[in-house]
A and B are shown apart, each in its own frame.
Chain A
């Protein structure tokens, strides 16, 4: 049943070869563009939903959110469709539209690769109220406990940020600004803390004084759904 290719005796011209590759590349390009367009909306939606869930998780009591952007001088409300950059954070508001806290994304090197952390910050009490790992490639079984270990994550639910967060050996935390590290994943634990401290160092001076936070804009396309 095997149909061996007949041995091509004459060398095909370079034009034939170039044409064959060009056609293959062209068709491949069309297919990839089609798939990209077909999945684009779902992917964007997934990412937005993931982020929204993360914001709600790191800021307890929040039911509405909006994008805030530091424009070089002050924090202003940014349109929801604007692309996120490192000057973008999220403001969380309760049912009545009262300001609850900020969700701030910060990134830095972990044990394997960059870790991206989203943390909830209440400026009035100067407290971290939640932490969520947006992206990490930490070692499965050890470093990935920074998001799989509920006890470690709970460290960040009520954590004083001044003078800065300190990582302690497991079971030895005593002050409100200390957290218990994960046994066997000290580097990853310290990385998360360092990333939050660095994020705080950048944002502390950018945020307006408590009470002067940007108000919830009325047009809120994300909560209309």
Chain B
């Protein structure tokens, strides 16, 4: 929850790393595992989610006085679904090739618990400015995680990044990486890496504090 000492900048930056929606909160796993079989799909999905999350957070936080508490979830879903439908049509009109690949997963953005979660936990309780900052940070963190997973899987699974061949013809693609098990394996390893880094950082901070204390005494 935002306390008064938090700045808008902190609200934004927290989603990128400290409270990363994927690596820390483990939210939005469906698109995370389903559409990260290539970097470009991952980015397209990340951007679609970005637009929906920022748009919904803006609307929910500006309309919060008029939304009765008892029907708030339904209203949030209506707002989110509206943005998702807009994204669906716009993608279909602007980039039909990407829409073909993501097709079935675009409507599922409605059910992405990351988006509804931010409305319920943050946007409905904070000012418009903070809600937008929070949404931008969270969506950017999600996009970052999508891209990390998508690029690892595409590089290993097809030997390519953004469709550009990286290793020449002798590379035998690890087909499993672009199949569903590859998604789980990659996500598991990235979560391991993330937790290990967090742990090391905490140990380092504790060590520094210890050293400061012994110096002072």
Q: What residues make up the interface of A, taking CB atoms closer than 8 Å to B?
A: 1-5, 8, 11-12, 16-17, 20-21, 24-25, 27-28, 31-32, 35-36, 39, 42-43, 46-47, 50, 135, 137, 139-142, 184
Whole-angstrom CA separation of A4 from B61 in the bound complex:
11
* A-contacting residues, B105-135, CB 8 Å: 124-127, 130
Cβ contacts under 8 Å, A184 to chain B:
175
Verify B2–A39 contact, CB threshold 8 A. no
- Partner among B89, B93, B96 whose Cβ is within 8 Å of the Cβ of A50: B96
B68 close to A12 (CB less than 8 A): yes
Query: Is B96's CB under 8 angstroms from A46's CB?
Result: yes
CB distance from B152 to the nearest CB of A (A): 14
B2-A24 in contact (CB<8A): no
Report the separation of the CA atoms of residues A27 and B86 in the bound assembly, to the nearest whole angstrom.
Answer: 13
Assess whether B6 is in contact with A1, with CB atoms less than 8 Å apart: yes
- Chain A: minimal CB distance from B23 (Å): 24
Q: Is A20 within 8 A of B89, CB to CB?
A: no
Please give, as numbers and ranges, the residues of chain B lying within 8 Å of A137 by CB-CB distance: 103-104
Contact B71 A39 (CB under 8 A): no
Give the docked Cα–Cα distance between A35 and B83 (Å). Answer: 10
Contact A5 to B64, CB < 8 A, known contacts A25-B78, A36-B89: yes
CA–CA, A142 and B2, complex, Å: 48
Closest chain A CB from B180 CB (angstroms): 9
Task: Say yes or no: is B81 at the interface (Cβ < 8 Å to chain A).
Answer: yes
B27 within 8 A of A: no
Assess whether B67 is interfacial by the CB under 8 Å rule.
yes
B71 — nearest CB in chain A belongs to which residue? A17
Determine the residue in chain A with the shortest Cβ distance to B38: A140
Chain A nearest CB, measured from B105 CB (Å): 11
Q: Give which listed residue, B75, B100, B125, B173, contacts A141 with CB less than 8 A.
A: B173
- Are A2 and B68 in contact, with the CB atoms below 8 A? no
Would you call B4 an interface residue if the criterion is a C-beta within 8 Å of the partner chain's C-beta atoms? yes
Cα distance A209–B82 in the bound complex, in angstroms: 53
Contact at A141–B37, with CB atoms within 8 Å? yes
Residue pairs across A and B with Cβ atoms less than 8 A apart, 15 shown, are: A2-B125, A3-B126, A20-B66, A20-B75, A24-B79, A25-B78, A28-B79, A31-B82, A35-B86, A35-B90, A39-B90, A39-B93, A140-B178, A141-B158, A142-B179
* A2, B67: Cβ atoms closer than 8 Å: no
